Structure 1
C-alpha cells in the first residue's frame, strides 16, 4: 500500500495492519501520535487570579486579550469594508479601538481574507505605530501576499511562524499556530497557553488541525454564521432560482450548526464563543443579498451546544463585552458588560460607503480602460492556461445588467498554453467548459487595475456566475483567488506603448496629409498650365482669322 499526501498538507501516518484471527480479515487502524501541545515542555495549570486574564470582543473576528499586562489582538478588521464593498461590519467597534490596537504587544492574523487582514485598519495603525509584531503562519500562500499592492511592503513587523511550534511571548504566555486540514495553503488557527490554561481560536478553519484538537481547553472560539461564500449567492441560470437558493441556504446553515456543535462536544471547553460571523451586506445595491443570504443566529448555536454538552458554558459577544478568565475558572459570574451602552448601540447604522465608492469610481474611469489593449497583458500576467475553459466576462451596472459595447464584453479561452482573447464565443462552445461572469464594472475594473485577487468579486458578491456544464472549476477559482502574481501588472508600460502607438499613427497621418496636399498643389499647378496653353491657342486662332481677312 502506498500513501500519498497532498503537498503542504497533513501527512497521513501509515496505518497499522492486524489480522482478525476469528474472521481472517485484515483490520486497519490509525495510531494516535502525540500532538505538538503534548510534547516537550507541558505545563500543569496554575492558578489565575480574577482580573489577570481578560478576553474582550471588539467586532467580527477581532478579540483583545490581556494576560497580566500583555495585550494580544486577533484579526483586527475594525474599519472599512471587506471583499471590495461586499462585507461591512455588523457591530460598532469600541470608539477607542485605534488607541487600544496601537498599544498591543502582539497581533495574530489568521489568513489573507480581508475580513481578517484589513489593510485599511493596518494603514490607520501605521500612522501611530509600526513596530508591533504581527504573527502569521508559514503558509504556501503567504498571509501578506498583497502587501505590495497596498503600499505596505517592508512597513510592517511581520513574523512568520512554523506550524506546531510554541512561540514564547512572556514567561507565562506562549502560542502555537496550527494548519487547516481542508485549506492548508491559506488558513490557520491558534492555540494559546497561559500558565497551563489553553485558549483555542479555530477562526474560519473548516477542519482545524486536521480535526486533531486539544481536549478540555478553557476557552474555545470559532466561526458559526455561514453565508461567507460566493456559492450559491452569486450563481444564476439553470437550477439556481431564488427558491432553490433559499432551500439550500437553510439546509447548509443547519448542517453548519450541527458540525460546530459536534466539534465543541469533542473539544469540551469550559466556555465556547461564537464569533467571526458578524458582517452585513450593507451596500444599497446588495439589499437583495441581505434578504436572501441569511446567517446563523449565535444564540441558536449556543442553545444547541448547551443542550448537547451540559458542562460547556456559552457566551454571545457584543462590542466591549469582556470575559474574566479567573472568575470563569472559579465558577463565578465572569461576563462584564460595557458601561453606558444599550443593545441598539451595538449595531452599526452607517458605513463609509461613499468614501469607498470614490476609489472604485476612480478605477472605473481610469484611462487604461479607454481601449481593450490591456486584455492580453492582464491574462498573460495572470498566468493561467492549459485548462479547457472559455470565460466570458460582461461588465454590468449595479443590477447586473450587461453594458454591451466592444470594451465591456470580454471572452478568454484558456485551453492553449497561452490565454487567447476572442472576438466571439467559439462555435463549438456546447462541447467546451463555459463560464459566464457578470461583474459590476467599477468593482471589476478596480480588481484588474490593482492586480487584486478575485475573492472580492466572488466572496464579496460583486459578480454573478453561470456555468455550462454545472461544474465547479476549482483550478480556475483557486488560481484567481489565491495564486495571482505578487506584483500587479505593469500598466505604466501598457499606457506608454499606447501613447507611442498613437504618436506613430499621428505621424503617419500627418505624412499622408502632406502627400495629399502636395499632390493637390501639383494638380493646381497643372490647371494653370492648361489655362495658359488654352489662352495661347485661342490667341493663335484669332490672329490666323484676322490675317485671312
Structure 2
C-alpha cells in the first residue's frame, strides 16, 4: 500500500489568475487535456474536475443559471452548484469531490491540488463484525485527549494533562481524572495529531517520560516534524514513529489506524481513522479541511473540534475598526458560522455517533481576564443540539472528564442510557487551580538571559529567522503583563524588505505592524527558537497594523517555517566576548572598566579599527550610525 501524496493537477501563473472572472471559469490542462472548473467567489476560490459524479459527463455553463454558480452535465443534465460543490439537480444527491485551490502570496500563482489516493481507507476493506459490550470504549480525559480501548489494546489521543499551552495563554478547562497519567503511561500507543502545545504537551510528556520513555508514539510525516522541538525540550522519549499518510498501520489482527493530512495546513496538521473489526472512528481534531474534504461516510464515531477562539484575532488587535462592539459582533458571527459549518459537516458525513471535543480550554491567568471575557466560544451542548435538530438519527455525546461511551451498546440501541457512563456526581469537572507560578517562573527565567544584555541579539535573531524580501516593517515593543512598555525593555524596528534595523520608519510606501509582546514570552521564544504561536495564539501580544491587512507570508513564516534548530546563542556570546576584549585592547581600557559606558562615536571608531586589524573574529559593521554585529549570520 503506497502512501498518500498531494499532487498538483493544474497550475495557473499570476497573469492567468488575473484573467479569472468572478463566478465560473473553465480551464484545461495543456499537457494531458484534462478539464477543471474554478469558481471565483468574493472571499475564496473553489475548484473541481470537470466531470459529473453521476456517469462522468462534462459540465457546461447552465443557461438557466441567473447567479453564475451552476453548471450542467451534457449527459443527463445533472446540475452542480460550484460555489457550494453540491448537486442541485437532483437535489440531496452528491457532493462534488473538491480540489484544494492554493493561491500563492509569493508570486500570485494558483495551484489545484489533489490527494492521491483520495480515499485510502477503502484499501483492504474489512466487514464490520458484531461487537460485545465493553469491547470498544471511548473515555474522555480532557480537551483533545481520549482513551480508546479496542479489544485488549489501549490508545491515547493528544494527551494534554498538565501545564499551559501556548506559553501561558491556554489552561485546561476540565480536571483530568485522577488516574489520567497512569492511564497514559499504561497505553499501548499514543497518537499526537500536530505540534501545537494543546496537543503536543511537553509538560505532560515530561511526566510520562519519567514513567515510560519507550512508549510508542505515532505522528504523521508532516513537512515540519511534529517533534521538531524534542531535543531542545529535554524530554526523553525513545519510541517516536513517523508514519506515511494514508497507509494502514496494523496494531493487531483486529485493530489498525491511518493518519491523514489536512488540506489547508498539510505542513503541520493531521487527522486519524481508527478501525477495529470493521468499525471506524474518525478523529478530525483541529484540521481545517481534513483529507482535503474527502472523508468516510457513515463511520461509527466522529470526533471533532467545535469551540473556536483559538486565535489572537480579533481580541488582541486595537486601533481603527477594532472597537469592543466590532469585536463582539465579529466573534458572534464567527461562532455562528463555525457552528453551522460543523453541523453541515456532520450532516454530510452521517456518523452514527458524534462527539465534540478539542475545545475545552480557558484563559485562566488573571492577567488574561479581558481575553477570557471577550473570547466567547461555542459550547459542545449547543453544537450537539444543532446536530440533533438537523439529524435526529445521529446520537450525540457531550463528554465530561471520565465519561465512557460503550460503542456496542450505543450501536445496538442509541436510546440505551447505559451506553454512556457518566462520572460519579461528586467528580470534579472544572479545574480551579493551575500552578501558575511553576510555569511562569520558567518563562520569567528567560528575561535575565545573558544574550539580552547586548542589543545585537536583535539582528542575530532575525537573521537566524531568515524572513526577508517582503515590504513589511514591524515595531516590536517589550511590555509587562498588562502590555505597558517595559522600563529598560527593547523597542525596535525591523524592515523585512532588506532585513535592516532602522531607527525610524522608511520614507517609502510600506506595510506596518506594531507588536507589543509580553517580555517573558517573547524572550522565551527568542532564547529557545520557538514558534510565534506562543505569542499570537497564546494572547501574549497586542497589535495594530497599517493598512489593516493580514500578512500571511510573515505570520506563516514565524508560526511554521522558522529553522528547526534554535539560534546558536553560545556562539553569539563567544563572538560578543571576543569583540569586547578586542575593544578593550584597541581602546586601552584598564581592567574592569565598564565597556558599555563607551559613547557611540567612540564605539564606532573602535569598530573601524577592529575591522582593520582583527582577522580572528567575525567583522562588525557600522550602519546608519549604530553598531550592527554579525551581519552575515
When normalised by structure 1's length, the TM-score is 0.87
Q: Which residue of 2 aligns with 1:239?
A: 321
Q: Aligned equivalents of 2:531 and 2:302: distance in 1? A: 31
Q: Aligned equivalents of 2:61 and 2:144: distance in 1? A: 53
> Contact (CA 8 Å) 1:83, 1:459: kept in 2 or not?
yes
Q: Which residue of 1 aligns with 2:350?
A: 268
Pairs within 5 Å for 1:37-436: 37=120, 39-152=122-235, 155-331=237-413, 332-333=416-417, 334-339=419-424, 341-342=426-427, 345-403=428-486, 405=488, 408-416=490-498, 419-428=499-508, 431-436=509-514
Q: Which residue of 2 aligns with 1:4?
A: 11
> Structure 1: where are the runs of 5+ without partners?
514-549
Deviation of the 1:340 alpha carbon: 5.5
Q: Aligned equivalents of 1:462 and 1:123: distance in 2? A: 24
Deviation of the 1:254 alpha carbon: 0.7
Q: Aligned equivalents of 1:100 and 1:304: distance in 2? A: 33
Deviation of the 1:306 alpha carbon: 0.3
Larger Rg: 1
Shift of the 76–272 alpha-carbon distance from structure 1 to 2, 3 Å rule, reads same
Q: Which residue of 2 aligns with 1:496?
A: 574
Shift of the 21–188 alpha-carbon distance from structure 1 to 2, 3 Å rule, reads closer
Shift of the 19–120 alpha-carbon distance from structure 1 to 2, 3 Å rule, reads closer
- Secondary structure (helix, strand or coil) at the match of 2:259 reads strand
Q: Aligned equivalents of 1:141 and 1:20: distance in 2? A: 41
Shift of the 485–23 alpha-carbon distance from structure 1 to 2, 3 Å rule, reads closer
**Alpha-carbon displacement from aligned partner over 1:284-315 (angstroms, at most 9, x marks no partner):** 11011111101111111111100000100111
Q: Which residue of 1 aligns with 2:102?
A: none
Q: Aligned equivalents of 1:353 and 1:487: distance in 2? A: 28
> Contact (CA 8 Å) 1:148, 1:487: kept in 2 or not?
no
Q: Which residue of 2 aligns with 1:485?
A: 563
- Secondary structure (helix, strand or coil) at the match of 2:11 reads coil
Q: Aligned equivalents of 1:70 and 1:171: distance in 2? A: 11
Q: Aligned equivalents of 1:146 and 1:494: distance in 2? A: 21
Deviation of the 1:339 alpha carbon: 3.2
Shift of the 374–264 alpha-carbon distance from structure 1 to 2, 3 Å rule, reads same
- Secondary structure (helix, strand or coil) at the match of 1:101 reads helix
Shift of the 104–414 alpha-carbon distance from structure 1 to 2, 3 Å rule, reads same
Deviation of the 1:41 alpha carbon: 1.6
Shift of the 326–424 alpha-carbon distance from structure 1 to 2, 3 Å rule, reads same
Q: Aligned equivalents of 1:124 and 1:38: distance in 2? A: 35
- Secondary structure (helix, strand or coil) at the match of 1:4 reads strand
- Secondary structure (helix, strand or coil) at the match of 2:576 reads helix
Q: Which residue of 1 aligns with 2:24?
A: none
Shift of the 132–12 alpha-carbon distance from structure 1 to 2, 3 Å rule, reads farther
Q: Aligned equivalents of 1:44 and 1:5: distance in 2? A: 43
> Contact (CA 8 Å) 2:119, 2:294: kept in 1 or not?
no
**Alpha-carbon displacement from aligned partner over 1:52-89 (angstroms, at most 9, x marks no partner):** 11100000000011111200000001110000000000
Q: Aligned equivalents of 1:219 and 1:86: distance in 2? A: 31
> Contact (CA 8 Å) 1:3, 1:12: kept in 2 or not?
no
- Secondary structure (helix, strand or coil) at the match of 1:214 reads coil
- Secondary structure (helix, strand or coil) at the match of 2:513 reads strand
**Alpha-carbon displacement from aligned partner over 1:154-193 (angstroms, at most 9, x marks no partner):** 7331111211111111110111111112222211110111
**Alpha-carbon displacement from aligned partner over 1:462-513 (angstroms, at most 9, x marks no partner):** 0011111111100000000001111110111121222222223333454689
> Structure 2: where are the runs of 5+ without partners?
1-7, 14-45, 52-56, 65-70, 75-79, 81-95, 99-115, 592-633
- Secondary structure (helix, strand or coil) at the match of 1:392 reads strand
> Contact (CA 8 Å) 2:97, 2:294: kept in 1 or not?
no
Q: Which residue of 1 aligns with 2:92?
A: none
> Contact (CA 8 Å) 2:121, 2:258: kept in 1 or not?
no
**Alpha-carbon displacement from aligned partner over 1:253-293 (angstroms, at most 9, x marks no partner):** 01100000001101111111010000000111101111110
Deviation of the 1:198 alpha carbon: 0.7
> Contact (CA 8 Å) 2:50, 2:59: kept in 1 or not?
no
Shift of the 20–67 alpha-carbon distance from structure 1 to 2, 3 Å rule, reads closer
- Secondary structure (helix, strand or coil) at the match of 2:476 reads strand
Deviation of the 1:5 alpha carbon: 9.2
**Alpha-carbon displacement from aligned partner over 1:324-368 (angstroms, at most 9, x marks no partner):** 1111121133011223634xx100001011011111111011121
Q: Aligned equivalents of 2:164 and 2:394: distance in 1? A: 34
Shift of the 162–399 alpha-carbon distance from structure 1 to 2, 3 Å rule, reads same
Shift of the 5–356 alpha-carbon distance from structure 1 to 2, 3 Å rule, reads farther
Whether 1:455 aligns to 2:495 is no
Q: Aligned equivalents of 1:20 and 1:247: distance in 2? A: 40
> Contact (CA 8 Å) 1:62, 1:73: kept in 2 or not?
yes
> Contact (CA 8 Å) 2:61, 2:72: kept in 1 or not?
no
